[in-house]
Amino acid sequence: MTSPIDLIESAWLASQTRSLVETPSVTMDEAAVCAQFASLMSEVGLVVDVREVTPGRNNLYAKIPGTGEGPALLFNGHLDTIPIGYCVAPGREGDVLAGRGTTDLYVNATGIPTFYYGPSNETAHSDNECVSVERLASAAKVYAEGAMRYCGVSD
């Protein structure tokens, strides 16, 4: 039997990440990347709800409906990027994805079991923000495995 972890494809993750990073998402103007992310989440089967908080700023809620019998798990992150100076242009060279937003996903929420983990932090918010596809896939697998264990889903 194939584990859901084995279904995580590095090439697909790299392609989607590059597409998201190529979409401008500076703080206070992240509506376009929110719409793109909502579409992506819908495509993979999540139920999506986008709510405008202020003009140009949306909150995105996505869920996998359960039966109501087991625990719930929340992943809380952000879609905006910071507008500090120059940053290497979005792109890919070999196994490295570059551009603002490739390295960080801060997943946290008070009082709820969560992860605080991202694919890289060495270059986060620097002029040379980048991450290897291998580390991106590794982070996705950690999220998936942690969620499966917490919710009692076996391979």
Mean pLDDT of 130-145: 81
**What pLDDT was estimated at residue 50?**
93
- Residues 6+ away with beta carbon under 8 Å from 122: 103
Q: Where are the domains of the chain?
A: 4-150
Pick the residue with more confidence: 32 or 124? 32
- Residues 6+ away with beta carbon under 8 Å from 20: 33, 36, 37, 40, 101
**What pLDDT was estimated at residue 58?**
87
Q: Which of 67, 33, 63 is nearest to 46 (CA)?
A: 63
- Residues 6+ away with beta carbon under 8 Å from 131: 96, 97, 102, 103, 119, 120, 123
pLDDT band at 107 (very low <50, low <70, confident <90, very high): very low
Pick the residue with more confidence: 39 or 108? 39
Q: Check pLDDT > 80 for residue 39.
A: yes
| DSSP codes, 85-112 | S--PPSEEETTEEESTTSS------TTS
Q: Check pLDDT > 90 for residue 81.
A: no
pLDDT band at 137 (very low <50, low <70, confident <90, very high): confident
Cα–Cα dist 123/25, whole Å: 18
Q: Check pLDDT > 80 for residue 106.
A: no
Angle at 42 between CA 75 and CA 145, to 5 degrees: 40
**What pLDDT was estimated at residue 56?**
77
**What pLDDT was estimated at residue 114?**
40
pTM: 0.73
pLDDT band at 63 (very low <50, low <70, confident <90, very high): confident
